[in-house]
Structure 1
Amino acid sequence: MRTRHGIHSPGCRPQRRSPGRSVHLSHGRGAQLVTGGSRSVAAVARTHNRQLHAEAGEAVEVDLKRLDGGDDGIVEVVMCRQKARNALGHLFVSQMRELVSSLSSDAAARVVVFRSLVPGVFCAGADLKERALMINSESDLFVHGLRSLMTQIAVLPMPTIAAIDGVALGGGLELALACDLRCAASSAHMGLIETTRGLLPGAGGSQRLPRTIGVTLAKELIFTGRRIDGQTALEMGLVNRAVEQNEAGDAAYREALSLAREILPQAPIAVRMAKEAMNRGVEVDMTSAMAIERMCYARVIPTRDRQEGMAAFIEKRPPKGSQSFWVMTPKLDQKDSTHVNLG
């Protein structure tokens, strides 16, 4: 596995980087992406900026890992603010925003998994120590930034999966709700508990929870500030999968990785267009939704994904581009939306 700093390690380390360490713009997969043209120059520049911030002495609270081998195309956003239980503080949010922004134009990223390296915690929500020092206007501005971050995650073009192996409260659950899919350990605890603090969910939770589990159940959970476990969340439709926790404490992550591997072989433009059709369609009336579906469908017709998929069906064989051999063009919004099939 490769981190954004090119270090082979099980995850990010939230210590300060050495000021004297050299910085390399391209390394490992990054170099391949630049020369191959599958990432934009802006995305590479943002990666470079993150490296500079790390070299300047900032603690790494959110990191990026690209899986390789058979998992090439799966990217992990790793949360590792150990002492503060991944609380949504200024630095954490800033680093998360930068990583998500880089992913928005990264055609090599096929599926994104959000996970935590803090034992027993996905994300504990707002950093109340930081919030206590803010005046009302500062607090309002910060929550607006949180709302914007969750929207950034929600509109990522590729499928996103939250791996909830522990506590996901308040803003932590709002982060998971911003993802397309959620896997949870049965023992995980989650809830929008803002009403117990004299607040209401302000980073999208009051809107995304009703759209996920229905208005009546969402009102009950938000009005009461109730916490539920992973199994109850599965029964409500809040998560897609719930699994028993393992000794390593990463059962939800392993389940999320399994789900990502099911998505990975599918034609990437088709998957992205399906996501766009659903996300935009649920917000409008049926007639408008059908028009959105037609538009998205039209964009997959000229792709080599579609041509190879149909040929494989007729010839009764697996698509040659399966198992991560599809290569997309840098911009999904090109008129022809074509890409090269290396299969």
Structure 2
Amino acid sequence: MPESDTIRLDVEDGVATLTVDRPDRLNAMNVETLTSLKEALAEAEAADAHALVLTGAGEDAFVAGADIGYMQDLSTAEAQAYAELGHEVADAIETFPAPVIAAINGYAFGGGCELALACDLRVASEDAVLGQTEIDLGIVPGWGGTQRLSRLVGDELARRLVFFGERVDAQDAHEMGLVGDVVAHDQLDDYVAEMADDLAAKPAFALEAAKEALNQVHESDQTAGLRYERRLWSSLFGTHDQREGMAAFVEDREPEFE
């Protein structure tokens, strides 16, 4: 299992469970955590996991997003590197050779929502809240959200969610197709564990082939779109609105955009 203070990997009976473990920061993703998550995904694959569950530690958050305190002073080049790392993790989830279930137990904002979008299936606690909230930080989704969101909920809804940075509760997320199931908060772990066990009992090679075929539907266009998103996201670093949006978040005040 990976040696990390921020990621836990457990493998049992063919099911790997990856837990982002920064509850004091609402499981926000900094470089260390992203790197550890990438390494843990590789270890889960090497362990021949037939199903994988991604979740967050604590009662409040799945992954509340990227670490804004880290991001606020990034240069364009540094932001590009951070976007590349986030994309590598999301791509590793999307191409993991077994079904991946996001157990969304709380806040899933920004990069956290994007990691959930990269999963095959999404199950939300009734307490969960989701959103692509980057616009209020003076940036746009940078880990795949501009491409994967519209393919899941449709173009109109995706534009509304990205333009307004709207936060939606679990039931609304279910109605728009953002999550597949909503369950009581105290039943989430058991519900997802049963799903994962059912998947792990299926023929592994057939599941892997099915996932590859399903992913292929969007492969060529999405690759170009994701590349463009990375460049666009990082180009916003150093602008007044990015600096002001992130400073206001860290300082807990309303931003004053240009």
TM range (shorter): 0.7 to 0.9
Matched, 1:202 2:138: no
Larger radius of gyration between Structure 1 and Structure 2: 1
Question: What's 2:34 paired with?
Answer: 93
- After superposition, residues 169-188 of structure 1 pair within 5 angstroms as 169-188=109-128
Is this contact kept in 2: 1:125–1:168, CA < 8 A? yes
TM-score normalized with structure 1 length: 0.62
- Per-residue deviation at 1:81? 1.1
State the distance in 1 between where 2:189 and 2:162 align. 26
User: What are the within-5 Å matches in structure 2 for residues 95-174 of structure 1?
Assistant: 95-107=36-48, 109-174=49-114
Matched, 1:254 2:195: no
> Of 184, 189, 207, which aligns to 1:271?
207
Give yes or no for contact 2:16–2:44 (8 Å, CA) kept in 1.
no
TM (norm. structure 2) is 0.81
* Cα displacement string for residues 262-282 of structure 1 (whole angstroms, at most 9, x for unaligned residues): 212211111111111111134
Match of 1:190 in 2: 130
> Percent identity over the alignment?
33
Aligned amino acid, residue 279 of structure 1: N
Q: Which amino acid aligns with 1:227?
A: R
Other-structure match for 2:238: none
Evaluate the alpha carbon distance shift between residue 231 and residue 136 of structure 1 in structure 2; reply closer, same or farther with a 3 A threshold: same
Matched residue pairs, number? 221
Local SS of the residue matching 2:185? coil
The structure-2 alpha-carbon separation of the partners of 1:198 and 1:280, relative to structure 1 and needing over 3 Å to count, comes to same
Q: Specify the SS of the correspondent of 1:233.
A: helix
Deviations 1:208-227 (A, max 9, x none): 11111111111111111100
Q: AA paired with 2:60?
A: G
Q: Could you give the per-residue CA deviations for residues 71-99 of structure 1, whole angstroms, max 9, x where no partner exists?
A: x1111001111221111101101100111
Q: In 2, are the aligned partners of 1:187 and 1:230 still within 8 Å (CA)?
A: yes
Q: Which amino acid aligns with 1:256?
A: V
Amino acid at match of 2:37: M
Q: Which runs of 5+ in 1 are unaligned?
A: 5-49, 286-343
Q: 2:151 is aligned with what amino acid?
A: R
Q: Quote the Cα distance in structure 2 between the aligned partners of 1:224 and 1:255.
A: 32
- CA deviation after TM superposition for structure 1 residue 284, in Å: 6.5
Answer yes or no: is 1:82 the counterpart of 2:23: yes
Task: Tell me the residue number matched to 1:328.
Answer: none
**2-structure distance, mates of 1:97, 1:266:** 25
Question: Equivalent residue of 2:25, what SS?
Answer: coil
Q: How far does the alpha carbon of each residue in 1:173-206 deviate from its partner, in whole angstroms, 9 at most, with x for none?
A: 0011110000001221010011111111010011
Q: 2-side partners of 1:261 and 1:235: how far apart?
A: 26
**Residue 65 (structure 1) aligned with residue 10 (structure 2):** yes
Q: Hey, what does 1:9 align to over in structure 2? A: none
| Structure 2 equivalent of residue 242 of structure 1 | 182
CA positional deviation for 1:168: 0.3
- Whole-Å separation in 2 of the counterparts to 1:62 and 1:162: 15
CA distance in 2, matches of 1:221, 1:252: 25
Gaps of 5+ in 2: 222-258
Q: Which has the higher contact order (CA 8 A, sep 6+)?
A: 2
Counting helix residues as a fraction of each chain, which structure ranks higher?
2
Alignment of 1:209-228 (within 5 A): 209-228=149-168
**Conservation of the 8 A alpha-carbon contact between 1:112 and 1:161:** yes
Native 8 Å contact 1:183 1:253 kept in 2: no
* Alignment check: 8 A CA contact 1:122 1:168 kept: yes
Tell me, in whole angstroms, the C-alpha distance in 2 between the residues paired with 1:136 and 1:284: 27
